[in-house]
Amino acid sequence: MRTYRNPVIAGWHPDPSVCRVGDDYYLACSSFEYFPGVPIFHSRDLVNWTQLGNVLDRPSQLRLPPGTPSSGGVYAPTLRHHAGRFWLIMSNVPHGGTLLVTAEDPAGDWSDPVHLPGLTGVDPDLAWDAEGNCWCTCAGIEQVRIDPFTGTVLSRPKRLWSGTPGARFPEAPHLYRIGDTWYLLIAEGGTERGHGVSVARGPAPDGPFEPCPTNPILSHRSTDHPIQNTGHGDLVQAADGSWWLVFLGVRPRGGTPGWHVLGRETFLAPVSWVDGWPVVGQVDPLTVAPDAGPAPTSAPVGAAPARDDFDTGVLHPRWISVRSRPPEDVSLAERPGWLTLHARGGSLDDPTVTFVGRRQDQHDVQVRALVDAGRGRGGLAVRLDEQHHYAVEVAGGEVSVRARIGPLAQCLATRSVAGPVVLRIETRASGPEMDHPRQEPDVVRLGLEFADGEFVALAELDGRYLATEVAGGFTGRVIGCYAAAGTIQVDWYDYRSLSSDRLAMADDLIDA
């Protein structure tokens, strides 16, 4: 029996789009208000993914001004390979409309964007027919022909199919030619607990389309499944002929209604074909793969330790910032071996705050950073958006814990310190069984660490207030360093999973 773990890309990596070139697979995700935009990954087996970089890594490619709302920005990219090039089309909400970029090497420089001002929909898809026509299908579900080199819309919008009657928000269309048949895959039901994937088929890229009689082909609505909100999928055929679906889902925890704190993650499921329709196979945290297909015995366990000593001169592509990252505000050269942050906005409440962080990708994590705030104020924070964040901050010889929950902001505790200090944040998930209907999803502990490694937690906070079900929006948590005033410098940042013992036991069970 062959198994792999879901999610295959943990932490908030929603709206996955995948393509295969030979034996290599490439995948891109939404990035919303963060810069650089659109993380892109590579795999040889659809399970183990390595981030190559970010598609939109230059200001000329991505405009996210301070007025960009949290959970605005880059939505739902579609990644395709056609005529020897990679093509990626996406929405920039609300500022840039639809953007299309290309590259010969997905790890290399991507082009500046071609704008499509005549296209008004979101979640754009690209597909080419045998005659070379390029079809762009958007949420709605509407379709036009375009010139992908100029962005010109070549036809009037045509409504194709609105999904299951009564299901809201038909979106995330993907169009495929499989044999002599065209398949239209969509998401519907909203991206919350009612989310799902449905499919229709027809003789041509513009239909007419007949719906699958067993729609939705994927949904965990009205179930107690540990993976919820499953939807926004993309099909890919492996080199051995097997078929797979990448899609988003969440892992809610705690009592009613359940809170997901890591955002929407990327999951994988096998696909079989019955009577000409795709049938989605098992979706579980430990998923059984068919004998055919690329899935290995198991995927990597938990979050790999990620320590950054800021010695290389460039930031790893996993580091992201809020809306922009001006080089005059974020430097690895000003004090070699340190990350220097100059405050641009004020506190974490400010949309222009200087912030550099990474996605939280496990429920039980420990994050530590050695911070020198001798010339400013700043620290280590867990951020969901401007109105939902926890931070441990240092300034003027004092460490404090601060919390912002909606309109309420408060300093919760303080402690005197001398010199640079190791700040620390830990998140501990609630148990698998609820103690009561309002059980929190996790507890966030914030404090400082002494030279002997002793951790002094200055505050322990309920994690539900940094969850989508409370804050709203489309992203998940990011844990990183920020400058609120003046200049702060960070010698190192260490991120590691606290779940290794439990996950190692799971490995033993798999190997047995």
How does pLDDT run across 33-54, given as a tens digit for each residue?
Answer: 999 999 999 999 999 999 999 9
SS3 424: strand
Tell me, letter by letter, the H, E, C secondary structure of 127-169: EECCCCCEEEEECCCEEEEEECCCCEECCCCEECCCCCCCCCC
> How far is residue 328's CA from residue 333's CA, in Å, rounded to a whole number?
11
Q: Where are the domains of the chain?
A: 2-289, 306-500
Determine the length of the chain. Answer: 512
Does a cis peptide bond (omega within 30 degrees of 0) precede residue 36?
yes
Q: What number is the average pLDDT over the span 407-416?
A: 96
- Give the single-character DSSP code of 452: T
pLDDT in tens, 64-91: 999 999 999 999 999 999 999 999 999 9
Which of 93-102, 261-270, 325-334, 487-496 bottoms out in mean pLDDT, i.e. has the lowest? 93-102
N-to-C CA span, the chain: 11
Catalytic-labelled residue, pool 15, 265, 426, 442 = 15
Question: 107 pLDDT exceeds 90?
Answer: yes
CA 79 – CA 81 distance, rounded (Å)? 7
Closest residue by Cα to residue 240 from 313, 188, 290: 290
For residue range 206-239, list pLDDT tens digits in order.
999 999 999 999 999 999 999 999 999 999 999 9
pTM comes to 0.95
Place of tokens 């050269």: 333
For the beta carbon of residue 467, count every other beta carbon within 10 angstroms: 27
Mean pLDDT of 293-317: 73
For the ranges 299-303, 424-428, 506-510, which has the lowest average pLDDT? 506-510
Question: What pLDDT band is residue 438 in, cutting at 50, 70 and 90?
Answer: confident
The answer to whether residue 510 scores a pLDDT higher than 50 is no
Confidence of residue 452 (pLDDT cuts 50, 70, 90): confident
DSSP symbol at 464: G
pLDDT band for position 346 (cuts 50, 70, 90): confident
Vertex 135: Cα angle to 130 and 139 (nearest 5): 145
Q: Does domain 306-500 have CATH number 2.60.120.200?
A: yes
pLDDT band at 321 (very low <50, low <70, confident <90, very high): very high
The string of pLDDT tens digits covering residues 163-180 is 999 899 999 999 999 999
The model's pLDDT over 348-404, given as tens digits with 9 standing for 90+, comes to 999 999 999 999 999 999 999 999 999 999 999 999 999 999 999 999 999 999 999
Share of the chain above pLDDT 70, in %: 93
Q: Do 260 and 468 touch, CB atoms closer than 8 A?
A: yes
Helix (H) or strand (E) holding 401: strand 398-405
Is position 15 annotated as part of the catalytic site?
Answer: yes
- pLDDT for 166: 87
pLDDT digits (tens, 9 = 90+) for 120-158: 889 999 999 999 999 999 999 999 999 999 999 999 999
- What is the pLDDT, as a whole number, of residue 509? 24
Nearest to 76 by CA among 138, 13, 7, 29: 29
pLDDT the model gives residue 287:
81
Active-site residue, selected from the candidate residues 171, 329, 385, 426: 171
Cβ neighbours of residue 420 closer than 8 Å, sequence gap 6 or more: 370, 371, 372, 373, 374, 491
Q: Tell me, letter by letter, the H, E, C secondary structure of 255-313.
A: CCCCECCCCCEEEEEEEEEECCEEEECCCCCEEEECCCCCCCCCCCCCCCCEEECCCCC
Cβ-proximal residues to 222 (8 Å cutoff; 6+ apart), any chain: none
Query: To the nearest whole number, what is the mean pLDDT of the chain?
Result: 93
CATH topology of domain 2-289: Tachylectin-2; Chain A (2.115.10)
Identity of the amino acid at 510: I
Q: Is 328 in the active site?
A: no
- Residue 95's pLDDT band (boundaries 50, 70, 90)? confident
Nearest-CA neighbor of 343 among 438, 153, 481?
481
Amino acid at 385: D
What are the percentages of helix, strand and coil residues in the chain, rounded to 5?
A: 5, 50, 45
- Complete DSSP assignment for 213-249: TT--SB--TTS--SSEEEEEEEEEE-TTS-EEEEEEE
Residue 190 half-sphere exposure toward CB, CA atoms < 13 A: 8
Residue 287 · residue 269 · CB < 8 Å: yes
Quote the CA–CA distance of 489 and 480 in Å, as a whole number: 13
